[in-house]
């Protein structure tokens, strides 16, 4: 097992762009994204059972960010000049988490429903609302809906 | 790959690159926050653990004091205060709760008696084999004015009560001598629960309490009128 400072250093050195990108989708606001990543990192590395590997650390910080957003403490965001950021910020926390999980984490609708504690129908509706908001800016999603998690990492 | 997914990923990467620079600039502050929170958490855990220990000790002492826990450090006001597990710190003597207690009784006279399995008795003994003999205190006392005598024998081992007999009582009408024969408790059971191995160095104590018939007021408590009896009990033969 690597030490806490070593894993934290690796997280900052290797994982931060991915974590930050995920946080941008979750918040639709740069400043809030910075705050979200930092808060999630602090929470994960404060726990007595800290992550043993970099992969674990990254997964735990991602999950913690989702939890913090779903907890609604990250509901309101300041308006952004970036139209995609503004569209994301206008969505509900659940809709942003659904989008981030589906398009960034390659999660299935079932996995999203479990993370959001919603029915599959509810999770799909969150995803559809997010798609509707982003489609005019980023294009339509013409892929068939995934039923299995892809073994792909951005 | 869908347009939405690839475009959202590209947008997020671009924004994420900018955001990650700001995050990296704050790395030291985050490390300090982690250390501060861990210190706070550790302090809270230590405090909680100490509080839990103190709480457990307090509850344990309140519910069932053991060993040297405070217990019978003075003559018991009621015989029911003699409880297994309590420390025995009572000294031989008498405590009166009314004026002129001798109006009600004369000091008891008696001795410890060992009764063997064959029924033979002896008063000069220092030990026996568990299960092959019983110990009792036999004596008499003079009661007056409708006083009642209640008595219990308490077994004490290593300073703690390991056995108590049920109350045995004696009374007589207006005046007269009563006989007291109080059998020592069988070791190994205490209040219905296993309490002791039933062997070892044990001291038997006699506690007599006198009450009035008319209002149940306690007249006096007498401990070991003829002295305690120390015996060595050998384990029962297999």
Cα of first residue to Cα of last residue in chain B, in angstroms, is 84
All residue ranges of chain B with pLDDT < 50 are 64-72
- pLDDT category at A66 given cuts 50, 70, 90 is very high
- What pLDDT shows up at residue A51? 85
- pLDDT category at A4 given cuts 50, 70, 90 is confident
> Domain ranges in chain A?
4-138
Q: Taking a contact as any Cβ pair under 8 Å apart, which residues of chain A between 125 and 144 contact chain B?
A: 131, 134-135, 138-143
- Residue scoring higher pLDDT (B102 or A10): A10
- What pLDDT shows up at residue A97? 94
Chain B residues with beta carbon closer than 8 angstroms to that of A23: 16, 19
Query: What is d(CA A66, CA B85) in angstroms, rounded to the nearest whole number?
Result: 55
Write out the H or E segment, with its range, that includes residue B109: strand B109-116
Asked if B24 and B16 touch (Cβ cutoff 8 Å), the reply is: no
State which fold the A4-138 domain adopts.
Butyryl-CoA Dehydrogenase, subunit A; domain 3 (1.20.140)
- What pLDDT shows up at residue B68? 40
Rg (CA), chain B: 33
Summarised one tens digit per residue, pLDDT across range A16-51 is 999 999 999 999 888 889 999 999 999 898 887 778
- What pLDDT shows up at residue B70? 39
Q: With CB atoms and an 8 Å threshold, state whether A45 touches B8.
A: no
């Amino acid at each position: 097992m690597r030490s806490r400072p070593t894993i934290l250093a690796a997280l900052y050195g290797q994982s931060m762009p991915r974590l930050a990108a995920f946080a941008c989708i979750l918040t639709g606001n740069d400043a809030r994204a910075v705050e979200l990543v930092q808060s999630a990192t602090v929470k994960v590395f404060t726990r007595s059972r800290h992550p043993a590997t970099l992969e674990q650390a990254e997964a735990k910080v991602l999950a913690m960010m989702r939890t913090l957003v779903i907890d609604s403490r990250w509901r309101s965001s300041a308006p952004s000049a970036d139209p995609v950021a503004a569209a994301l910020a206008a969505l509900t926390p659940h809709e942003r988490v659904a989008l981030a999980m589906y398009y960034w984490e390659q999660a299935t609708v079932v996995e999203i429903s479990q993370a959001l504690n919603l029915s599959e129908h509810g999770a799909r509706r969150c995803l559809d609302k997010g798609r509707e908001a982003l489609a005019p800016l980023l294009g339509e999603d013409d892929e068939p809906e995934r039923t299995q998690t892809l073994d792909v990492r951005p | 790959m869908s347009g939405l997914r690839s475009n959202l990923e590209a947008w997020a990467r671009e924004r994420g690159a900018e955001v990650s620079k700001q995050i990296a600039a704050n790395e030291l502050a985050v490390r300090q926050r982690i250390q501060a929170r861990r210190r706070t958490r550790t302090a809270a855990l230590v405090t909680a653990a100490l509080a839990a220990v103190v709480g457990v000790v307090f509850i344990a002492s309140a519910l069932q004091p053991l060993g040297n826990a405070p217990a019978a450090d003075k003559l018991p006001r009621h015989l029911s205060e003699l409880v297994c597990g309590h420390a025995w710190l009572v000294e031989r003597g008498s405590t009166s709760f009314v004026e002129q207690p001798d109006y009600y009784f004369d000091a008891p006279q008696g001795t410890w008696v060992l009764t063997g399995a064959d029924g033979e008795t002896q008063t000069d003994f220092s030990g026996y084999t568990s299960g092959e003999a019983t110990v009792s205190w036999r004596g008499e006392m003079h009661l007056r004015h409708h006083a009642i005598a209640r008595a219990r024998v308490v077994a004490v081992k290593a300073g703690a009560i390991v056995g108590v007999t049920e109350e045995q009582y004696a009374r007589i009408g207006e005046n007269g001598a009563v006989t007291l024969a109080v059998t020592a408790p069988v070791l190994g059971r205490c209040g219905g629960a296993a309490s002791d191995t039933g062997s070892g160095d044990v001291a038997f104590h006699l506690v007599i309490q006198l009450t009035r018939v008319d209002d149940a007021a306690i007249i006096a408590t007498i401990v070991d009128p003829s002295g305690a009896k120390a015996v060595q009990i050998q384990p029962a033969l297999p």
